Amino acid sequence: MNFYKKNKYVNKVHNARLNYFTAKLCAKKVNTFFIISLLRKKNISLTICDPLLWVDLLAALIIGLMGNLKSLMVIAFEMYHIDTKALRSERLIYRKMYKNSFFSILKFEIMGLIKVLNLSIKLKVLNLISIISNLIIVVHSEHRKRYLEGRSIGKKSTLKFYRHFPMSTNRNMDLRSENFLLLAGRINNLVDFEKVIKFSVANQVDIYVIGSGAEELHNSSLILPPNVKLLGSMPNEEVLGYAERCLAGIVLYENTSVNQSFSASTKLFEFLYYGKPIICSMNPGLIEELKSGNACFCSVDDLIGITSSYFLQGSLNKINNNFTFEGEIIRYLSVS
């Protein structure tokens, strides 16, 4: 019997995929007090997702100790929710954002220690569950899977992956390539973004920045040329409209963070679904995904010497059905 415990902290985009995935597993959704309804059931396969909640972990442990838990599947959207090294490296990035005052730094470090300790205990609970039942951890790239294979939690569980491809859609789309590059969400790497700016100025191409990246640039000391347009936050449907029409998508990440080094970017796959070329950081996770998908891409370090015509020639201007979530789940289930 398959059951799925919904997590209210999962965003709408991830939730749509989870609904499709759990439907394919024939998993029945249960509420916050699901332990009461499951205590008397036998041979239970339970699916939960990060961020891991104590109520879910303890419920799974109790069901397991009663001998009723066949398997626990943990769907991990972010590496720092299931790996302490990843959490520590992620905090190194956020540490740079804090004002250099004693009390703000002290508060940040104390909260960091609490978060790492909390995660360490949660992983011990997962290890205990892996002893009494089958623990399955699902991550969102093969690169992340290989990383976890060398970690403690990976050695005590079955590791699988499916990628964050977008759900297919029948809505009308405008896939022409207009004269702008698009960065949606966090910028993550300002050094690489400056390289993209230099390219855009030299080639007279606009850069549209949507979402949190626009807010970060408002608060930064970076001097932006007129061709960089900060559009702020907007509904996801509007963001996708820009993604459909861009000349190329910009996807930038740090290499100092485990989560970003083994990135499995939802926005990356949306660009690829729309047949758009990619400008990216020299990041192991990104490069691996782009090469495996035979995508047209250019690293920020290789922008020197090329023109905007490179991206025009590389644009499919049509939907690329190799990047649909439905197809990815068929692959996942066929090898499970």
**End of a domain among 126, 161, 196?**
161
Residue 200 lies in a domain: yes
pLDDT at 37 over 90: no
For the cut 80, the answer to whether the pLDDT of residue 23 exceeds it is yes
Asked if residue 329 is part of any domain, the answer here is no
Please say which residue of 161, 193, 226 terminates a domain: 161
Lowest mean pLDDT of 26-40, 65-79, 111-125, 218-232, name the range: 26-40
In tens, the pLDDT along 46-70 reads: 999 988 999 899 989 999 998 999 9
Q: What is the pLDDT of residue 36?
A: 67
Domain presence at residue 76: yes
* pTM recorded for the entire structure: 0.88
Greater pLDDT, 184 or 38: 184
Contacts of the segment 167-170: beta carbons below 8 A, 24+ positions apart: 167/16, 167/17, 167/20, 167/324, 167/325, 167/326, 168/319, 168/321, 168/324, 168/325, 168/326
Given a contact cutoff of 8 angstroms between Cβ atoms, the answer to whether 282 and 301 are in contact is: yes
Q: Are 265 and 243 in contact (CB under 8 A)?
A: no
Domain with 285, as residue range(s), is: 180-323
- For residue 102, being part of any structural domain is answered with yes
Phi, psi for residue 236 in degrees, rounded to 5: -60, -35
Q: Mark whether 127 and 268 lie in a shared domain.
A: no
Same domain, residue pair 15 and 123? yes
Could you tell me where the DSSP H helices lie in the chain? 12-24, 34-38, 54-65, 84-95, 102-132, 142-149, 152-155, 190-202, 212-218, 236-245, 258-261, 266-273, 284-292, 309-314, 325-335
279, 226: one domain: yes
pLDDT > 70: percent of the chain: 95
* 244 and 281 in a common domain: yes
User: Residue 262: inside a domain, yes or no?
Assistant: yes
* Region 239-244 average pLDDT: 91
Same domain, yes or no, for 150 and 232? no
Q: 115 and 6, same structural domain?
A: yes
Tokens of 1: 């019997």
**pLDDT at 98 exceeding the cut of 60:** no
Same domain membership, residue 302 and residue 202: yes
Q: What is the domain count for the chain?
A: 2
At 149 the three-state DSSP class reads helix
Give the residue-averaged pLDDT of 186-205. Answer: 92
Q: Are residues 127 and 52 part of one domain?
A: yes
- Are both 123 and 238 inside the same structural domain? no
Q: For the domain that residue 309 is a member of, what is the CATH number? A: 3.40.50.2000
d(CA 186, CA 252) in angstroms, rounded, equals 9
**DSSP assignment string, 51-118:** SPPHHHHHHHHHHHHTT-EEEEEEE-SSGGGT-HHHHHHHHHHHHTTS-S-HHHHHHHHHHHHHHHHH
Q: What is the pLDDT of residue 262?
A: 84
- Lowest-confidence region among 114-118, 158-162, 166-170: 166-170
Q: Are residues 67 and 128 in the same domain?
A: yes
If asked whether residues 8 and 155 sit together in one domain, one would say yes
Examine the domain organization and report whether 53 and 118 are in the same domain: yes
Let me know if residue 334 belongs to a domain. Answer: no
Mark which of 132, 161, 190 sits at the end of a domain. 161
197 in a structural domain: yes
| CB contact at 8 A, 21 and 45 | no
Residue 16 belongs to a domain:
yes
